[in-house]
Amino acid sequence: MPIQVLLADDHQIVRQSLRLLLEREGLKVVGEAADGQDAVTIAESTHPDVAVLDVTMPVLNGLDAAREIQKVSPRTKTVFLTVHDEDPYLLDALRAGAKGYVVKTHAAENLIQAIREAARGGVYLSPEVSRAVVQAYQNKTELSPDPLSPRERQVLQLIAEGKTTKEVASVLNISVKTAETHRTHIMEKLDIHETASLVRYAIRNGMIQA
């Protein structure tokens, strides 16, 4: 039985190219998503073997999507395919439970290898990020605990994407009052009290691209 894969990337042409690549290698694409929230919904209904996620996606970024996918489809392994090779992104991905991390500048064979390794229960990292993991370990790089809850992270991402409180409430299917409460809690926890600084925080933490 072929490995079943979910593709999540906000660029349609990337998803189409990946689908052709994976199907040529005998893998089966069971769903495509343009944002992290759709990826979670599709994973919950299809329970793929592997979810290939971009790190920066609208509505819900790949890191938070990976965490949510683990809740709704525990058997699904996550592999990140991204342009980011910086230590913070990689370490956050590993903390989110990633079984693969492939930089987009690498050959297609790296992604195929990562998917197959993840499906077997192993871990695959691009060569240069493998070195980054070793270096981070040697330097005893530690990630401070995230002060925000998963819902607060999602609200923050939507705010950073330029959505109003009313629009945040609509996207998340919550009341405007609840959205406002989340916004207040975010500002209090981060000790940030203006939107521009919230946007900068979201960029630094990989929620959105600059």
Q: What percent of the chain has pLDDT over 70?
A: 89
Q: What is the pLDDT of residue 158?
A: 93
DSSP state letters, 13-57 = HHHHHHHHHHHHTT-EEEEEESSHHHHHHHHHHH--SEEEE-SS-
124 plus 34 within the same structural domain: yes
Q: Is 145 domain-assigned?
A: no
d(CA 134, CA 78): 21
164 plus 121 within the same structural domain: no
120 plus 188 within the same structural domain: no
User: With 70 as the cut, is the pLDDT of residue 43 above it?
Assistant: yes
Angle of CA points 11, 106, 69, to nearest 5°: 50
25 plus 45 within the same structural domain: yes
Q: What is the pLDDT of residue 131?
A: 65
Better-scored residue on pLDDT, 126 or 137 = 126
Better-scored residue on pLDDT, 178 or 138 = 178
- CATH number, position 186: 1.10.10.10
From 95, 112, 138, give the residue that closes a domain. Answer: 138
Q: Is 144 domain-assigned?
A: no
Instruction: Indicate the pLDDT class of residue 205, thresholds 50, 70 and 90.
Output: confident
pTM of the model: 0.80
Instruction: Indicate the pLDDT class of residue 10, thresholds 50, 70 and 90.
Output: very high
d(CA 157, CA 92): 16
User: With 60 as the cut, is the pLDDT of residue 137 above it?
Assistant: no
User: With 80 as the cut, is the pLDDT of residue 94 above it?
Assistant: yes
d(CA 135, CA 186): 32
**Which domain covers residue 32, as residue numbers?**
4-138
Residue (of 59, 58, 60, 104) closest to 80 by Cα position? 104
- CATH number, position 114: 3.40.50.2300
User: With 70 as the cut, is the pLDDT of residue 133 above it?
Assistant: no
167 plus 82 within the same structural domain: no
Q: Is 113 domain-assigned?
A: yes
161 plus 133 within the same structural domain: no
d(CA 78, CA 16): 19
Q: What percent of the chain has pLDDT over 90?
A: 66
The pLDDT mean for the chain works out to 89
Q: What is the pLDDT of residue 104?
A: 83
Instruction: Indicate the pLDDT class of residue 3, thresholds 50, 70 and 90.
Output: very high
Q: Is 129 domain-assigned?
A: yes
DSSP state letters, 101-119 = EEETTS-HHHHHHHHHHHH
Neighbours of 170 (CB within 10 A): 14
83 plus 126 within the same structural domain: yes
Q: Is 209 domain-assigned?
A: no
Q: What is the pLDDT of residue 78?
A: 97
